[in-house]
Structure 1
Amino acid sequence: MPMSIKVLYFASLRETLGYSHETLTLPDTIDTVGALRGHLAKRGGAWEALQEGRNVRAAINQEMVGPESVVRDRDEIAFFPPVTGG
């Protein structure tokens, strides 16, 4: 059964993509953060900023996660560039 999630984009990703958030209905084949990134990157153009190998961090429901983390119905997934301090 397809699931519905909210995706948030922060900092330079928000500027690059032109979106701060969106709600998506995902096919059954998209079940991890890595698969979601790949799915979004396939949109092409600016969305390639989310391709595997690009330095992008992710969180599910405000908890930092890796690409293998499972995405569940009604999760909130956030993507953002690494934060540097100084």
Structure 2
Amino acid sequence: MDRSLNILYFAWVRERLGVDGELVILDEGINTIADVLAMLSARGAAYTEVLSDVAKLRFALDQDYGTTTSTVGLARELAIFPPVTGG
């Protein structure tokens, strides 16, 4: 059974990748957000550059904050964005 994940990009992540989001099919063995990032990074230099420093990124699985060790499970959406600051 194919697992799909809708990935949404925000702020400078979106600008540098040139897309708002995409639907990806998760390979077998993709279990964590870190696994998804590794899969995306294999797509090319732009992904590698944007996703290389996870300290500059935040993640949400189905609108709940997560970390690189969070299990993707049956999540339908992964948002990737820079830290949010308020004012």
Q: TM-score, normalised by structure 2?
A: 0.87
Pairs within 5 Å for 1:41-60: 41-48=41-48, 49-60=50-61
Higher helix share: 2
Pairs within 5 Å for 1:60-79: 60-79=61-80
Q: Aligned Cα RMSD in Å?
A: 1.6
Structure 2 distance, partners of 1:39, 1:52, is 15
Partner amino acid, structure 1, of 2:37: R
Distance 1:21 1:78, change over 3 A: same
Name the residue aligned to 1:22.
Answer: 22
Q: Percent identity?
A: 38
Give per-residue Cα distances to partners, 1:3-61, cap 9 Å, x unaligned: 11110000100000011111111111111101101111121221111125451110001
Aligned residues: 86
Distance 1:11 1:53, change over 3 A: closer
Distance 1:59 1:74, change over 3 A: closer
Question: Which stretches in structure 1 are left out of the alignment for 5+ residues?
Answer: none
Partner amino acid, structure 2, of 1:44: G
Structure 2 distance, partners of 1:24, 1:74, is 12
Task: Find runs of 4+ consecutive structure 1 residues off by over 4 angstroms.
Answer: none
Name the residue aligned to 2:7.
Answer: 7
